[in-house]
Amino acid sequence: MTKSSSNQMWGGRFAAGPDAIMEAINASIGFDKRMARQDIDGSRAHASMLAAQGIITDTDAGVIREGLLTVLSEIEAGTFEYSAALEDIHMNVEARLKEIVGEPAGRLHTARSRNDQVATDFKLWVRDQFDAAEGAILSLIAGLLEQAEAGADWVMPGFTHLQTAQPVTWGHHMMAYVEMLGRDLSRVRDARKRMNECPLGAAALAGTSFPIDRDATAQALGFDRPSANSLDAVSDRDFALEFLSTASMSAMHLSRLAEELVIWSSAQFRFVTLSDRFSTGSSIMPQKKNPDAAELIRAKIGRIFGANTALMMVMKGLPLAYSKDMQEDKEQVFDAADNWMLALAAMDGMVRDMTANRESLAAAAGSGFSTATDLADWCVRALNMPFREAHHVTGSLVALAEKEGCDLPDLLLTQLQSVHGGITEDVYSVLTVEASVASRTSYGGTAPSQVRAQVARWRETLA
């Protein structure tokens, strides 16, 4: 087969033939350069440990550490030249280090492998993302607490099946998302704690014969301890999967709130007004104010879910220890992290800028016979009626109100008594939405007193 026909088989993009294809599929520098700082931090810690253990000289370690800082400064300045031929960030850094410091650079890789090196770099990067996520979630919780406190006694409809169910308060609705994000915060902190074991020193898969001090490198890099099994250390990507799982759960919560903001900001609801900073106009309809930020949050979540599934599929069939398949872990995590952080920031901005329309909320709160449950509860308390009978009586009164074209509080006492003669005028005390929400004083209920208590509890917890 001629060279030209071989190239045609490989395709026009790879005119150089199989070598170009192998380089393209094998190289990861296009994306793993994002771990440059973590790679250099790990190498500096490793060099210090090697010198402390007498494996390399203090002089060589000092030269290596300073040279690595020079490499980092070039990367941060944007003057570093990456090479796909060197495959990854580790080899790119080491090659440049050799150009800067010469022969001592060759001693840096003593007692380690790219397998434990990449696991360490990736853990450090994911750990940084967990820390960033924690800060972003805390900020969003703070914004929701401000909304909840301001609207602790603002009545609005509560929904099930997106149908009016019972009156709640704006503050109570905001606090529901605080609780969701609180669980996200807990998962972030829990996963970060669990992942904080250092793979460095596991080498390729079996450890090393050099007298290294893994506790020293773990401590230098902020890990709680070194990982206990070298095979597991280089083949573990649970930390990345937990990051994606945690991000997916949190993103799902953001998407639910985004969906509500899309609905609430519509002309049919008018529950909230989103700021111009997080809305856009229409190219043809001048009256439009579109909740694009909320819609994009809702859409971007799919990328995070997809990354979670994709990495699960990569890892599910891999034998111990390292396989090149695991190079496919980083792009998924990088993309998910970018979109999670963006979604958190955008939602934080929307929540802090949005205005709840108190009048529209109140007008909708009493629609759909939202105090029907309060009427049934009153029958149980005041008339000693079994709840199932009270439910039937209330259903009959709702049907009567529908027939009359009015709401429950608008029915005359004689009309109420036509369904059940024991009903007294006292029943009107529970038929307003304000009385309804005020009565829901059970722990976690929608009563303004409960909302304010929950806001105070969260402020104390976060303090």
Query: Is the Cβ–Cβ distance between 88 and 29 less than 8 Å?
Result: yes
Closest CA to 52 of 210, 163, 173: 210
CA distances from 176 to 81, 186, 343, 354 (A): 49, 16, 19, 17
CA distance 208 to 90: 19
CA distance 408 to 253: 35
| 354: three-class secondary structure by DSSP | coil
CA distance 114 to 203: 8
Catalytic machinery residues: 161, 282
Residue 438 Rama label (left phi>0; alpha psi -120 to 50; beta): alpha
Closest CA to 248 of 129, 337, 122: 337
Query: Is the Cβ–Cβ distance between 196 and 128 less than 8 Å?
Result: no
CA distance 234 to 203: 8
CA distance 159 to 113: 57
CA distance 170 to 176: 10
Sign of CA dihedral 375, 381, 385, 391: positive
Give the DSSP letter string of 171-232: HHHHHHHHHHHHHHHHHHHHHHHHH-EE-TT-TTTT--SS---HHHHHHHTT-SEE-S-HHH
CA distance 389 to 376: 9
Q: Return the H-helix or E-strand segment holding 433.
A: helix 433-439
Contacts 24+ apart (CB under 8 A), 434-440: 434/155, 435/371, 435/374, 436/166, 436/167, 436/370, 436/371, 436/374, 437/153, 437/155, 437/167, 437/168, 437/169, 437/172, 439/374
Tally of helices (H runs) and strands (E runs) in the chain: 19, 6
Return the number of other C-beta atoms located less than 10 Å from residue 63's C-beta.
20
